[in-house]
Structures are given as structure tokens and as C-alpha cells.
Amino acid sequence: ASEVQADYLNELNPPQREGVVNTEGPTMLIAGAGSGKTRVLTYRIAHLIQHHHVEPFSIMALTFTNKAAKEMRERIEKIVGNEARNLYMGTFHSVFARILRSEASRLGFPSNFTIYDTDDSKTLIRQIVKQMKLDDKLYKANVVLNRISAAKNRLVSWQDYLNNPIYAQDDADNMRPEMGKLYQTYVMRCFSADAMDFDDLLFNTNVLFQEHPDVLNKYQQRFKYLLIDEFQDTNISQYLIAKRLAAVRQNIAVVGDDAQSIYAFRGADIQNILNFERDYPDLKVIKLEQNYRSTKTIVNAANSVINKNTAQLQKNVWTDNDEGDLIELIKATSDNEEGKLIASAIFETKMQTQSSNAEFAILYRTNSQSRAMEEALRRNNLKYRVVGGLSFYQRKEIKDLIAYLRFIVNPNDEQAMRRSINLPKRGIGPGTIEKLVVVASEENQPLWNVMENAKSYLGGRGGNQVDEYVTLIKSFRLTAEKKDAYDTAALVAKNSGLLKELYADKTIEGMSRYENVQELLNAIKEFTDDKEREDKSLSAFLQEVTLLTDEDRSDSNEEAVTLMTIHMAKGLEFNHVYIVGMEEDLFPSQMMLSSRADLEEERRLFYVAITRAKKKLTLSYALNRYRFGRLKNCEPSRFLEEIDPRFIKVNKKFGSRAALSSAESYVTKNFVNNLKKDQSNRKFASAPQHKPSPDFQPSDTSGLQEGMRVEHAKFGFGKVTVIDAEGANKKAKVEFDTAGEKTLLLSFAKLRII
């Protein structure tokens, strides 16, 4: 540990140092952008290890992206050495997915449960909407998913949802009366597929901690220190997890900036900051006011904007840095011209200041704005990377292979089965697939059992074809048990026929798809070659992959201009920042604007964007833009008017300040006072699923009789009401105490006779 660095305390100002060295007890640091919050959190961890000799594995740090966690870890490593690897660090989702895997059985899940990504969730919802014969224009997958997601993030279980007349009324008002039923069915279907969606990772962690005090206690003992960055963007579900974990030792340190809260639409709430003060009366509050990131011009301009918000904590952010250049405003006639002007501005600055591409970022409100920028950058030979958008792991061929891998690990992963069963074409029709799923659901059997016995449910060819697929999957599963993720995946790519099919396609797209699959195999190889890693199984790899966020995948060492949405840019900094598309309806976004609170959130987003810039900020807008396939006239954003004019200059080459006058005449027409739904109705969730008794073992059911009490692995306790048929087809109707009446095929049902 010769490179270990000891003078880290000298790199902090007095209040920052206070935040680092007072490691005990609840601490909250709410401070403006660029004031060193993340640095305080990083050094606090280093100090715990270096000075107080706290074991790294008893420190949990929660960040907004896995990439942020990685950077923090590297920084800490520079101070304390490679011990830093044992820190428990990552996003809420990745950290608690890990814990859920260890404790899955408590919730009735296997430890190899699948994590459904948003696509899987939407596909499943579409299937349910169809099966329930609902109008798919009314029950759009993303509308339904958002509603379910919002409920989960408020810890409203489907039972609570169905029992609460407020939701029923609300859904009736929105002409979607079946929403509660959809929520219920969706949860059930995920459960029978042994799958959790992203929101479940938090929801179920809350259930786990609430209903299993022994589990909670174990982790309370283990994690002696809990730290959270970007605290303003945690939702109530995340907050409660943190609060429970820290309840015994109370060593919880949070840092954030209420002015940068930009996820209210996902349930994040300034309320958490206020709750924190209430929940920890002896809280130590630290204020930081000096900004180390940006020029005076940028800091003051950002202040002038955020001061327009009424719902902010009072802060006085200042900086000792240089005055710097004025903010530049570029006016373009069209979105394509905007791209050209930005690209040439970058090119010029790059030459004048001898900067590398990596020092430039283009930020926009929505992903679709990247296209014009990309074209222009390409024409100027400026290397760039787009963070977000259609990422590598969302490409069809990648999802195809991953579907195979998922189904190998989890034989009940319905979405993975649906995707892989006919790839390459095996002539298995949608009717056949549907039949398998329906049988499994009607007979309450694991999907895999039905598939293994496909021939008894499907006549003729269908049965044989499913049989072949089942045999193939079984052979892969055998490999997965013995070999690591790479060997298994390479075998699957080859023996499934996927690679061969792609190889045969000699179009440019086909070739690039083939290369992408090879690239995935490379990534898996890298995973298994990692010496630090203990678990090299396929299942470990899959877990890692599902929780990567888009920005985690991008290679930040590359010398490229960064393009991304403002949401993605949180916590980052660049010398030169370009915020494009400064137009009404685009930014602030029309879709998000239905109340004053929404406008304030858009303004905070603008504040986040401005404060990413270290040296120079440029803003641009276009007078015409293609949106949703039509050319539209645009008005400059009202936000341009909100910057104190002392800090801004209009680029004379391109426009004049007169162009802005139309923004002044903007009438705020959308200010409907949209009363927020009664938050006092948030109820804590009850567990949606039965957790089997610790000694649960299926009984021999040959002697099962009517009137007997039984326990089912998933449906819980119940009483047998009817026994039907004999032998392999013997069925029992069971009236379960909570899950209602079910008919079970006894040869498959996991029943315990009590």
C-alpha cells in the first residue's frame, strides 16, 4: 500500500472536513451544485476505513448510478488501497437485488429469480390486457406499468390498491376501471415466473425487512455505516429501506441538493429531506456554500434561475473561481442547423483551447434530439458517444441470446421462454406457446413442468417440437451447472443455432448483428476472466447485466464528446457544456407541465444542466423543429428569460436578442392546479406472497382427502374442498385462506399436508 495517500483531509474546506471526520450519528448535508457533496461522502468512507479501521464490508454506500459507485470506489482506493473493493456500493437496485437473492426464499422466490426489465414488463402487460379482453388503446402498456410502478414505489400492494376506494375512483375517472385487477394479475404472473421487476427490488426489500425482523436485524448488525448520495432523488420506498437499516446504529449520512430534485415524476420527494429532520431529531446538519466547479458567471446565472422557484431551501452558493466567459446563446432556424452550429462551435473551441473531445458535453431534454447532433458531429469528424438511447443490451440479437441464458437459469421465466423458443425458427406457433402458458396458469403448475410434459398437452408436431427445445435447454442447463458463464454462453450461441443464423445473413445489418453477439460473448469472457470475482456462474453474470444502467456501459475513458439527456448528467461535470433545444414545449417539456410544481421541476432540471459546466456554457434553440413527424414553429424557452441578462450574450453571428421577445409574451396556460392525490392514503404494503414454513416439504398426496388442511408453496394455507379423478390426473380443489380457490394437479402441486 505504498501509493496510499494520507493528506486527503487537506483537500477539504472546514465544513467539508467536518462532514468527513464526524463519522458517527445521523448527518445530513444539503448543499448547492458543485460544492463537494460527493467528495465529502467519498472521503468520509475513506476516513472510516483509514482512520477508524472500519471493515469496508460493513459500509454500505448508495449512489445514483453504478458508474458513480465505481468512480467513488476508485477514488477511495487511492486513499486506502485495494481494501476498498470490499465496500458494499452501488445503486439501490443493484445493492438490494443482491440482498434479495440471499433472502429470496423468505419471500417465496428462488434465489435465481429473474429481473424483468421494462420491456419484459410491458410485454407481459400487453399479454394480460389481451387475455383480459381489455381495450389496448385505453390500457396502453406504459400507462398501466407507470400506474403499477407508482403504486409499488409508494408501497401500495395490489391488495391495498384493490381495497382503497380512492384508487378505484381515480381509475374509474380515467376510464380504466380494471387497473387494480391488472395490477393483481401482473404481480401474480411475475411471481409464477419467478421474476421481479425493477420496482419489486425495492418493494420486496421493504416487505422482507418489515416481515422478517431476524433478516433485518442481521443486516442492521452487518452494515454499521450507511451513506447515500443524491438523497433528494430517493423515493419513499428507498427512504424506508435506508431508515430501517440504520435504525439501530443510526450511522446514516445523506448528501443531496433539493434544488436538483428531478425525479418527482418517479416518486422522489423533497418530503424525504423534511422527513429526515423529523426522523432524526439529533441530526447533524452541514451546509456547504462554496462551489468549486464553475466560473462565477455560471454559478450566478444558475442562482438567478433557481431563485424563481418558491419551493427551495434557502442557499447562498458562491465561488472563488474566475469570472469566466459569458454564457453564449445560439439561435438556429431549424434543428438541423442547430446541430451544425453546435458542432462547429465545438470544433472551434476545441482548436482555440486545445481541448480534447471528452471535455465537451451536449445535453438535451429528450433522447430524440440526439439525431441532428449526431449527424453534425459525424460530418465534423468529432468522435462522440451517446449515453442512453437504444443501448447495446436492448438490441434484438443481444436480447435473444440473453433470453436463452435467462431461461436456462430460471425455468419459469415466461418472457424468456416466449422469446427464445422459436429462435431460430422451429415452427412452434404462437398458439402452441399460448397453450403451454395457459395450462401452467390454469393448473397452477410451474411452466417448466408443463413444457417437460408438452406431449401430454399438445397433439402431434407441436408436442415434438417443444420436446426438442426442452431437450436443448436441459443440455444447456447441465453445462451451466458445471461450467462458467462464458463456456455456457458460447455453447448456447453455437448449439441453439443463433450464431449460425446471423452468420448466414450477409447484409450489413446482419453482419453487425453477428458482431454484436460476439461482442456480448467478449463481455462475458471479461466477466469470467476477472480474478477478483468469486461467482462466475451464468446466474451471477445475468444479475450483473440486468442492473447495468445505460451510463454504466459507456466507456468514459474514450476521447469522445458526450451526448445525453439532462437526467443522465446528474453529478457529472464538463469544461464545456451545450444545452440544446431551449424551446417552449420542449424545455420546459409540454408533456410534464400540468401544474406549477411541474414547472418548478423542469426549472430544477435546467439548474442541473447549467451547473454541469465548469468553464463555459452555451445554450441554443431552433425556430423550427421536426417533432412527432411534423415540422413545428418553436418559441424560445421561457427559461432563457430567467437567466439574469448580465450573464448572457447572444452570438452575433447567429441571432439577436430581439428574437427572445416572443418568450415574454408567453401566457402560462397550463397551470391547472392539479391537486396531488391524498398522500395520507399511502399504506404500508402487506406481503403479496406466501412464504412457506422453514421446514416446508411437499408431502406424498396420494392419501389426500377432502376436508384436509394443506400448505402450498405459493398460495399458503387452505382446505381441500373437492378431490377429482385418479392417478396422474388426480386434482384437488383447495380453498386457500388468502389466495382463494385453486384447482391443483396433484402430481405437480407443491403441497404439504398439515
Q: What are the catalytic residues?
A: 37-38, 229-230, 260, 612
> What are the residues binding ligand ATP (CB under 6 A)?
11-13, 16, 33-39, 257, 260, 292-293, 571, 573, 611
Residues 133-159, buried b or exposed e (16+ Cβ, 10 A)? ebeeeebbbeebbebbbbbbbbbbbbb
Q: How far is CA 73 from the centre of its chain?
A: 21
Structure letter (DSSP) for residue 483: S
Residue 589, burial from CB neighbour count under 10 angstroms (0-12, 13-18, 19+) = middle
- Compute the least distance from the CB of residue 39 to ligand ATP, in Å: 4
Helix axis angle, 538-546 to 92-103, nearest 10°:
150
Q: Report the alpha-carbon distance of residue 749 to residue 751 in Å, rounded.
A: 6
Q: Report the alpha-carbon distance of residue 78 to residue 81 in Å, rounded.
A: 6
Q: Report which of 479, 481, 449 is spatially closest to residue 466, judged by C-alpha positions.
A: 449
Structure letter (DSSP) for residue 311: S
Question: Which range, of 190-198, 377-385, 497-505, 568-576, touches Mg ion by CB under 5 A?
Answer: 568-576
Q: Report the alpha-carbon distance of residue 132 to residue 119 in Å, rounded.
A: 20
Q: Which of 38, 159, 453, 543 binds Mg ion (CB under 5 A)?
A: 38
Indicate which of ligand ATP, Mg ion, none lies near residue 513 (CB less than 5 to 8 Å, by partner kind): none
- Compute the least distance from the CB of residue 276 to ligand ATP, in Å: 17
Compute CA distances 451 → 404, 460, 467, whole Å: 15, 15, 7
Integer-rounded Cα Rg, in Å, for the chain is 28
- By CB under 5 A, residue 32 contacts Mg ion: no
Alpha helices in 530-637 (DSSP H): 538-546, 550-553, 596-610
Known binding-site residue numbers for ATP: 31-38
- Compute the least distance from the CB of residue 648 to ligand ATP, in Å: 21
- Compute the least distance from the CB of residue 89 to ligand ATP, in Å: 16
Indicate which of ligand ATP, Mg ion, none lies near residue 23 (CB less than 5 to 8 Å, by partner kind): none
Indicate which of ligand ATP, Mg ion, none lies near residue 689 (CB less than 5 to 8 Å, by partner kind): none
Residue type, position 729, single letter: N
Between 39 and 714, CB nearer to ligand ATP:
39
Between 321 and 465, CB nearer to Mg ion:
321
Cell of 267: 416518486
Question: Which range, of 35-43, 133-141, 198-206, 331-339, touches Mg ion by CB under 5 A?
Answer: 35-43
Q: Which of 19, 26, 462, 571 binds Mg ion (CB under 5 A)?
A: 571
Between 230 and 338, CB nearer to ligand ATP:
230
- Compute the least distance from the CB of residue 573 to ligand ATP, in Å: 6
Q: Report the alpha-carbon distance of residue 118 to residue 133 in Å, rounded.
A: 22
| Residue closest to Mg ion (Cβ) | 38
Indicate which of ligand ATP, Mg ion, none lies near residue 33 (CB less than 5 to 8 Å, by partner kind): ligand ATP
Cell of 568: 443522465
Peptide bond into 588 cis (omega under 30): yes
- By CB under 5 A, residue 692 contacts Mg ion: no
| Helix (H), strand (E) counts: the chain | 30, 23
Between 571 and 588, CB nearer to ligand ATP:
571
Between 97 and 288, CB nearer to Mg ion:
288
Cell of 218: 442481521
Q: In the block, which residue shows the cell 444479475?
A: 543
Between 268 and 489, CB nearer to Mg ion:
268
| Residue closest to ligand ATP (Cβ) | 36
Indicate which of Mg ion, ligand ATP, none lies near residue 35 (CB less than 5 to 8 Å, by partner kind): ligand ATP
SS (H, E, C) 640-684: HHHCCHHHEEECCCCCCHHHHHHHHCCCCCCCCCCCCCCHHHCCC
- Give just the sign of the alpha carbon dihedral 728, 696, 185, 391: negative
- Compute the least distance from the CB of residue 165 to Mg ion, in Å: 42
Indicate which of ligand ATP, Mg ion, none lies near residue 257 (CB less than 5 to 8 Å, by partner kind): ligand ATP
Indicate which of Mg ion, ligand ATP, none lies near residue 347 (CB less than 5 to 8 Å, by partner kind): none
Residues 6+ apart with CB under 8 A from 653: none
For the chain, give the number of residues: 754
Cell of 425: 425458427
- Compute the least distance from the CB of residue 384 to ligand ATP, in Å: 22
Between 419 and 570, CB nearer to Mg ion:
570
Known binding-site residue numbers: 31-38
- Compute the least distance from the CB of residue 33 to ligand ATP, in Å: 4
Q: Report the alpha-carbon distance of residue 147 to residue 133 in Å, rounded.
A: 19
Indicate which of Mg ion, ligand ATP, none lies near residue 16 (CB less than 5 to 8 Å, by partner kind): ligand ATP
Between 253 and 542, CB nearer to Mg ion:
253
Query: Which residues bind to Mg ion, rule: CB under 5 A?
Result: 37-38, 571
